Copies of this chain bind each other. A is one copy, B any other.
Amino acid sequence: MPRSGRRRPITSVDVAVAAGVSQATVARCFNTPDVVAPGTRQRIEAAAERLGYVPNAIARSLKSQSTNIVGAVVPAVGEYWQNVVTCFSRCLTASGRQLLLFSFLDQADVDDTLEAVAQYRLDGLILASATIAEAQLARMRQTGLSLVAFNHPDAAGIVPSVTVDNEAGSAELARHLADLGCARVLYVGGVAAASTDRARFRGAARTLASAGATCNYMEAGAFTYEAGYKAADRVGQMDSLPDAIMVGGDEVAFGMLDGLRQYGITAPNDLLMTGFDGLPQASWAGYDLTTLVQPAEQLAEHAAELAARGLDAPSNVVPPSVVVAGTLRRGRTTRRGEEPPARPQARAGRGCGPQSRAGRG
């Protein structure tokens, strides 16, 4: 039995010995192949292949002072964030980098997490949360780590930041509603303290005001389905319904839609509704929500790139910030007047009694 037990992993030295060259030449062969003689290279490659050599990224990182890894600190819950994480991963993988993921449930966990993060000498770190304290950002900035705030507009003065244009996007949704004749609009935000929430409400209120419409604010309490579902109770018990509800996040809007249905209130029949984010589910036929689609791929790409090339500014220069425009997606929830197009059977057979299956085998 020749191969018993756990054998020592193959190093570049092993390859060097097998190929009859020095370790330095092996390293060159993998990093700058053009400076090594063709014959030698071939011999080394053969030896490496035969031994099953695979370069040790840890050692490389130690020497080169760069890990090729970008970290991301992301909230553990929410459809939106899950979507963003996937985008990060795709972008980084595409550019040959890796993603070290830290997700946190409680805000208190973030401190511990950041401490752990700092130990790995990451090429950059993406902080994706609208609720990280600015004092903490400033402190992290000191470590020399290249930070990027994602979806946290207020951080723009402290660290580079990448966001969708929340205010303009929300304004676009508001204008859309105003054009449809809405005069009384209710804005349902997620967390009033979040900078994204404030920006979105600002855009909506400003635009609606200039169109002569009113815009009240209601806080759902979280950017979750459940929060939206519960907030629907408050709407359902109002004396008079608004013409439209602008919800600060798609997931909250889904909850709101489902919650309102319990009261017999549906969009677009009884009121119009918009969301924000452009989650995949917004396109599902079950919701078909009018929303502002965040260019997630593009945002993630910017964040990844900004994080990877650390800014060499000495810390007194104002960091660059990226604001990308979203695009309006028009769904059924603001499609008033135009009756649901092209589903004849649906109208005949839906939900109006047991005869719905008539005419079918």
Interface of A toward B, CB cutoff 8 Å: 4-7, 9, 52, 54-62, 67, 69, 76-77, 79, 82-83, 85-86, 89-90, 93, 96, 98-105, 109, 113, 115-116, 118-121, 142-144, 225, 229, 239-241, 254-255, 257-259, 261-266, 269-270, 280-281, 284-287, 312, 314, 343, 345-346, 348-352, 354, 356-357, 360-361
A119 touches B57 (CB 8 A): yes
B93 touches A264 (CB 8 A): no
What chain B residues lie within 8 Å of A61 (beta carbons)? 58
Partner pick for A350 among B56, B83, B85, B351, CB 8 A cutoff: B351
B55 touches A119 (CB 8 A): yes
With A89-B76, A90-B103 as known contacts, state yes or no: A119 contacts B54, CB within 8 Å: yes
- Whole-angstrom distance between the alpha carbons of A57 and B62 in the complex? 10
- Whole-angstrom distance between the alpha carbons of A225 and B79 in the complex? 15
Chain B CB within 10 Å, residue with most, of A58, A98, A116: A58
Partner pick for A85 among B4, B85, B266, CB 8 A cutoff: B85
Give the residue name and chain of the B residue nearest to A358 (CB): B264
- Whole-angstrom distance between the alpha carbons of A240 and B109 in the complex? 55
- Whole-angstrom distance between the alpha carbons of A60 and B121 in the complex? 12
With A57-B120, A314-B4 as known contacts, state yes or no: A346 contacts B284, CB within 8 Å: no
Chain B CB within 10 Å, residue with most, of A67, A90, A96: A90
A269 touches B93 (CB 8 A): no
Give the residue name and chain of the B residue nearest to A347 (CB): B264
B52 touches A262 (CB 8 A): no
Chain B CB within 10 Å, residue with most, of A96, A109, A286, A343: A286
What chain B residues lie within 8 Å of A254 (beta carbons)? 284, 286
What chain B residues lie within 8 Å of A350 (beta carbons)? 261, 264, 266, 351
